Structure 1
Amino acid sequence: MATIPQLQAVLDTLKLAERLKFELRHSYTSSGRQESVAEHTWRMALMAVLIEPYLTQTVDMAKLLKLIIIHDLVEAEAGDIPVLDVIRNPDLRLVKQQREGQAIDNLRHQLGDPLGQEVYTLWYEFEEKDTYEAKVANALDKLEVQLQHNHADLSTWEEIEYDLSYKMDRHVGFDTTLQQLKQLIEDEADQKLKLAGIDTDEVKQRALSL
């Protein structure tokens, strides 16, 4: 049975996590507003539930959902540094790593053992992407981002995001189901760009240099 201090630590963490409901990401919704980190994480979890029966390997579903839910928890403290900002300024990658590393360390101490250590270990498992569950979680993370872009008005996209629409292969190569899902999402993006009069062959060629 949990102790009062343990439960208080859980409540303190949930209070911190509430920030994810208003920590905004670069992506926009189809209604025209920016999405929150919590909304991104929720749909990643739903994607995992819906795609699990079709994955080519047996997946530890409890672990997969934990990886998804915990991974962005650090952004409640560290904030979200968009991928586009990192591409434009590679020095931000180290800043992001340091902030998030400190945030997950703080969470480990706040929750105490053994729960804090479990959360800490799961976060780094996602980061290292060595296990099948971590690879699936990472793939869903990238696919959900593109899916959200597909739903949003093209005016909310930056031009580099045209190129990134064709850069998801490296995240799904380990699983044929995820490769097929990636292709469907990429095809949606391709159609969206073509309808806007954008030369997608040129975009694909440019994407090769990224």
Structure 2
Amino acid sequence: MKTEINKILQFLHVAENLKRLTRHSWLSDGRRESVAEHTWRVSIMYLLVEPYLGIKVDSTKILKMIIIHDIIEALVGDVPAFDTFNEEVKQLKIENETRAIEDIRMQLDNEVGDNFYHLWHEFEAKATNEAKVANALDKLEAQVQHNEADINTWLDIEKEMLYMMDKHVNFNEFLIQLKDAIVEEGALKLAML
């Protein structure tokens, strides 16, 4: 049992990186957002939207997937979505993240590590309803955060990305409506320029 406790503690020390690792996103108070803050709010977002999804999903699995999806960034850092428009950057990101989730699986070397590994891969594949919902909320929360940030922090590409979220939500009518409301908020912010 002591070995398992040591693995837990060692991994918690790795996961602490997510509290310190900042994303490209800015908060409304002018501070950079941490990966942990983003993950927390995606989780809250799921709890808020779950009653309206109108599809059968495993809520526990979705929450686990949301919590796990950025865990690899504790090892490899965050790559902003707009950077992955470059194919070389995108491929390097995929390789680094795949290696990181394999390292996490080996570090934990138990059922929990296997679960992290499988949940992360399921999220990335976006084939199940759970993965689609988790992915959609991940993207939508990022845009909500942009909408809350000072407009001067928006890069030109982020102004375009406001209108690129359809592919993430097209499987669910409620998420389409939520996306539309988020886009409307962002468009109003852009109109103030």
- Same fold per superposition (TM over 0.5): yes
TM-score (norm 2): 0.98
Q: Output aligned runs, 1:115-134, within 5 Å.
A: 115-134=112-131
Find out whether 1:179 has 2:176 as its counterpart. yes
2:105 corresponds, among 103, 108, 113, to 108
- Shift, 1:68, TM fit: 0.4
Q: What is the TM-score of this pair, normalised by structure 1? A: 0.90
Q: Distance in 1 between matches of 2:108 and 2:180?
A: 40
Query: In the alignment, what sits opposite 2:137?
Result: 140
Q: CA deviation at 1:66?
A: 0.4
After superposition, the C-alpha distances for 1:30-83 in whole angstroms (9 at most, x for unaligned) are: 000110100000000000111111111122111000000001000000111112
The aligned residue for residue 63 of structure 1 is 61
Q: C-alpha deviations, 1:152-204, integer Å up to 9, x for none?
A: 001000011111001111100111110110000000011111122xxxxxxxx
Are 1:73 and 2:71 counterparts?
yes
Output the CA distance in 1 between the equivalents of 2:84 and 2:124.
16
Runs of 4+ more than 3 Å apart: none
Amino acid at match of 2:123: F
Instruction: Give the aligned residue type for 2:20.
Output: F
Give the unaligned 5+ runs of structure 2.
none
Equivalent-residue separation in structure 2 for 1:20 and 1:28 (angstroms): 16
The corresponding residue for 1:156 is 153
1:87-102, aligned counterparts within 5 Å?
A: 87=85, 89-102=86-99
1:23 to 2:31 alignment: no
How many residues are matched?
A: 193
The residue identity in structure 2 corresponding to 1:75 is E
CA distance in 2, matches of 1:134, 1:122: 9
Deviations 1:88-134 (A, max 9, x none): x3211111111111110011011112211111000000000111000
**Structure 1: which amino acid aligns with 2:148?**
H
Give structure 1 stretches of 5+ with no counterpart.
197-210
Q: RMSD across aligned C-alpha pairs, in angstroms? A: 0.8
Q: Percent identity?
A: 50
Shift of residue 11, structure 1, vs aligned partner: 1.2
